[in-house]
Chain A
Amino acid sequence: MLHTLSIDELGRRLSLGELSSVELTQHFLARIERLNPSLNAVITPTPEQALSDAAVADRRRAAGDKAPLLGIPLIHKDIFCTDGVRTSCGSRMLDNFIAPYDATVVARLKAAGAVMLGKANMDEFAMGSSNETSYYGPVKNPWDLSKVPGGSSGGSAAAAAARLAAYTTGTDTGGSIRQPAALTGVTGVKPTYGRVSRYGMIAFASSLDQAGVLAESAADAALVLQAMAGFDPLDSTSVDAPVPDYHATLGTPLKGLRLGLLREFFEGLEPRNAALIRDAIEVYTALGATTVEVSLPHLPMSVPTYYVVAPAECSSNLSRFDGVRFGYRCSHPKDLMDLYKRSRGEGFGAEVKRRIMTGTYVLSAGYFDAYYLKAQKVRRLITDDFRAAFAQVDLVIGPTTPTPAFGIGAKMDDPITMYLNDIYTIGANLAGLPGVSMPCGFVDGLPMGLQLIGPHFGEGPLLNAAHQYQQATDWHRRRPSGYE
């Protein structure tokens, strides 16, 4: 079946003429039509554009173009601006917004010949860990339709797990690629801050946001990241450093790799989850890795630090939604203040308003030092802890989430319980580090994620370590029933 093949294998068949991009695109479009109604993972399908882009890709290939992503279909998270296509960010605020340009991620993948099948559902403005805050309704987890897929890239994760596309894009501000990847049993990669351009990616928390990829395997993700990464003068925080060939280093033996076991990651971890992580560590030691116990004493402060820094940046970023230049406007405003307040009050959902108000509070006169400045200082302590750890080890290993996917509606009444879902992922965002989540087993029939975190710009070794694990195991090949 075409949707079970790797990007490499699809590329081989396309090159040999055994398959056309139009046929491959039709195959995935048919899967979306059949499987998406129960998942709600795709909110804006773009079939006509996809088929015409596929025909262009077929002509490019016939002319000798061998780009690895040429003619391979993907789904973009609806946070990336797509020229001429609705870009809603999961919000009523942007329900009618047609992006007037492409995000750099979109433009680069287009140039690489990627075929966009549509736009994926997501938590509103990427604020959520369950994909339940979307204006377009929750996304269902293909492993159990009564469970959440995680968030905020929940539509991207569910679509990747259900194989509605060869791969999907996502963004990760506090775990929004890795946590849903874990909960849906796919491989999710969050690169180093600054590795992938944020231009045209609707901003949530600018010092934390980073674009990445969700795919079946680390090998597939490496090909996609290769096309996405690199310097972009349009993003002032984009880093001007060469992008190594990620695919070329995937065969590197792991002998001598020093894996850091974070003491804080294993404290209080549920026993069945801990057992899966220990099994994965044994796979690595069998491959020649050694383990070192390391401690990040300030890591337990990462969730409260994040819930000051991220809302503060969000309250500033989302001030652009004013009901004047684009986006939702309330009906019959009686004056300008009423227009601002009701457009924002009606256009934003409950969680987005909660975060804007949290951010407004921690930045307000009299509270700035106690909250925002204090959180920025603790952020440095956490980052310094990671730096000290990477002086002793090459990669850090642990769980991605405390539990497998939870029930839809189970955590919506208590924001703090929801926020604590990202307890293992937020540290990497605060420190700007790259991270990977990949499936490592099941608890109660639901996939669990293994997380690897590397030093800044360590994507190559990180992807290789994930790839070696996936050569030795087949958890990433398991598929939810009904989506084989």
Chain B
Amino acid sequence: MRTRSAPKTVHMSLTRQDVEKIAHLARLEITDQEMPVYVTSLSSIVNFVDELARADTKDTLPMAHPLTGQHQRLRPDAVTEADRHEKYQANAPSVQAGLYVVPRVIE
């Protein structure tokens, strides 16, 4: 099957500032060493998916679920689970008195 492969030289569709903004939105710390790799590879991915613009979709509805005729099920609004917070919190990095501990957020 012929999907257009990536061109040899990547057109930089994203700048370093773009990637810094995306990383901030995604709450990801990207180091100075990592940054140039992401500018190049994310640019090449954006170029690659730009191929989608060629498809004629003017009468097509977006598809969010692979099966038709499915609907969200409802259940009675009743408690169905036991309190297992101690077991769940055993995986937390820092807990005190049943509460998750994070750095101070209110000065």
Tell me if B41 is interfacial: C-beta within 8 Å of chain A.
yes
A-facing residues in B27-53 (Cβ within 8 Å):
27-31, 34, 37-38, 41-42, 44-46, 48-49, 51-53
Which chain A residue has the least Cβ–Cβ distance from B72?
A236
0/1 string, B70-107, CB within 8 A of A gives 1? 10110100000000100110111110000010111100
B-facing residues in A381-430 (Cβ within 8 Å):
381, 383, 414-417, 419-420, 423-424, 430
Contacts A315-B26, A345-B28, A374-B53 known; A361 to B1 CB distance under 8 Å? no
Q: How many chain B residues touch the partner (CB < 8 A)?
A: 57
The interface centre, meaning the residue of A361, A375, A379, A414 with most chain B CB atoms within 10 A of its CB, is A361
- CB pair B1 A98 closer than 8 Å: no
What distance in Å separates the Cβ of A360 from its nearest Cβ neighbour in chain B? 4
- CB pair A370 B27 closer than 8 Å: no
When chains A and B are docked, how far (Å) is the Cα of A353 from the Cα of B51?
A: 23
- CB pair B100 A300 closer than 8 Å: no
- CB pair B48 A416 closer than 8 Å: yes
Which residues does chain B contribute within 8 Å of A193, judged by CB atoms?
66-67
What distance in Å separates the Cβ of A442 from its nearest Cβ neighbour in chain B? 22
0/1 string, A327-370, CB within 8 A of B gives 1? 11100011111111110111010100110111011101000001
Tell me if A34 is interfacial: C-beta within 8 Å of chain B.
no
- CB pair B44 A97 closer than 8 Å: no
For the complex, would chain B's binding face be called helix, strand, loop or mixed by DSSP majority? loop
What distance in Å separates the Cβ of B28 from its nearest Cβ neighbour in chain A? 5
Which chain B residue has the least Cβ–Cβ distance from A94?
B91
What distance in Å separates the Cβ of A313 from its nearest Cβ neighbour in chain B? 10
Which residues does chain B contribute within 8 Å of A326, judged by CB atoms?
88, 91-93
What distance in Å separates the Cβ of B13 from its nearest Cβ neighbour in chain A? 10
Beyond contacts A345-B29, A348-B28: 4 other A-B pairs, Cβ-Cβ < 8 A, are A301-B51, A308-B52, A337-B27, A379-B62
Give 15 CB contacts A-B under 8 Å: A194-B66, A324-B102, A325-B100, A338-B103, A340-B27, A341-B28, A344-B27, A345-B28, A356-B28, A364-B25, A370-B53, A374-B57, A378-B60, A379-B63, A416-B48
Interface residues of A (CB under 8 A from B): 96-98, 100, 192-194, 207-208, 233, 236-237, 239, 264-265, 267-269, 298-305, 307-308, 315, 319, 322-329, 333-342, 344-346, 348, 350, 353-354, 356-358, 360-362, 364, 370-371, 373-381, 383, 414-417, 419-420, 423-424, 430-432, 456
Interface residues of B (CB under 8 A from A): 1-3, 5-6, 14, 19, 22-31, 34, 37-38, 41-42, 44-46, 48-49, 51-53, 55, 57, 60-67, 70, 72-73, 75, 84, 87-88, 90-94, 100, 102-105
3 closest residue pairs by CB, A with B: A432-B66, A345-B29, A376-B62
